[in-house]
Amino acid sequence: MAQKPKRTKSGSAWMHEHVTDPYVKKAQLDSYRSRAAYKLLEIDQRDHLLRPGMTVVDLGAAPGSWCQVAVQKMKQKGRILAIDLLPMAPMPGVESLEGDFTEQAALDWLEEKLQSGRVDLVLSDMAPNISGIMLSDQARHYDLCELALDFAVNWLKPEGTFLVKVFQGVGFEAFRDRMRQAFEQVLIRKPDASRDRSTEVYLLGRRPRSS
């Protein structure tokens, strides 16, 4: 009989934190697919990102909690395009692609769907698979952020908005500077649903600067 892999202390601590997390429990009660819904809900309550009739692109969308929030806030009036490497269960009001945003095929899919139409809001909750090598993981994360920023700059309407998850540390200041070059206003948001020990924050860019 094969031995079960031993659970590491760090794995046990994460599981304990997860099952006792009030936002995890609340997400289950509210039928959200993950606790991340409350991050977007809080930012939206403060910054009024979502409204009916918008075109929204959600990068790194799985399992789909941000799409759920968008569908609710937009009252199913508008359009939501979602991409993730992982499969996402279908959702009314959302067109999704299981694909890699770092590859041209994903961008081609978005461009075909948009048909030269502009986007009101680009959301990016993308993060790389973690290797455990902090500098490498941080660099790979900011590569994804740069791709999302490039897409946002090229496709947002003049009054459009870009919300992206970042991690404070190596690369943060340089990316924030790039955001400030790309947008007229850049804000930092740390929603309550982001765990205190996490370096995760969100950068919010408004009104792309004309090139």
pLDDT in tens, 46-76: 999 999 999 999 999 999 999 999 999 999 8
| Radius of gyration for the alpha carbons in the chain, expressed in angstroms and rounded | 17
CATH at 203? 3.40.50.150
* Whether the predicted pLDDT of 10 surpasses 70: no
Q: What is the number of domains present in the chain? A: 1
pLDDT tens digit string along 129-184?
Answer: 777 777 888 899 999 999 999 999 999 999 999 999 999 989 999 999 999 999 99
Tell me, what amino acid is at 62? A
Residue 1 resides in a domain? no
Of the candidate ranges 170-174, 182-186, 196-200, 205-209, the one whose mean pLDDT is the lowest: 196-200
Contacts of 3 (CB under 8 A, 6+ apart): none
Q: What pLDDT sits at residue 4?
A: 42
pTM of the model: 0.88
Q: What pLDDT sits at residue 2?
A: 42
* Whether the predicted pLDDT of 90 surpasses 70: yes
Average pLDDT estimate for 12-21:
55
Q: How many whole angstroms separate alpha carbon 91 and alpha carbon 96?
A: 9
Contacts of 112 (CB under 8 A, 6+ apart): none
Q: Which of 51, 17, 171, 1 is nearest to 9 (CA)?
A: 17
Residue 155 resides in a domain? yes
User: HSE on the CB side for 24, CA within 13 Å?
Assistant: 9
Contacts of 78 (CB under 8 A, 6+ apart): 52, 53, 54, 55, 56
Contacts of 194 (CB under 8 A, 6+ apart): 39, 200, 201
Tell me, what amino acid is at 44? D
Pairing of strands 94-98, 183-189: unpaired
User: HSE on the CB side for 157, CA within 13 Å?
Assistant: 12
Enclosing domain of residue 144: 36-208
How many residues appear in the chain? Answer: 211
Q: Are 108 and 85 in contact (CB under 8 A)?
A: no
Residues labelled as active-site residues = 165
Residue 14 resides in a domain? no
Residue 31 resides in a domain? no
Average pLDDT estimate for 82-101:
96
Q: What pLDDT sits at residue 150?
A: 97
* Whether the predicted pLDDT of 6 surpasses 50: no
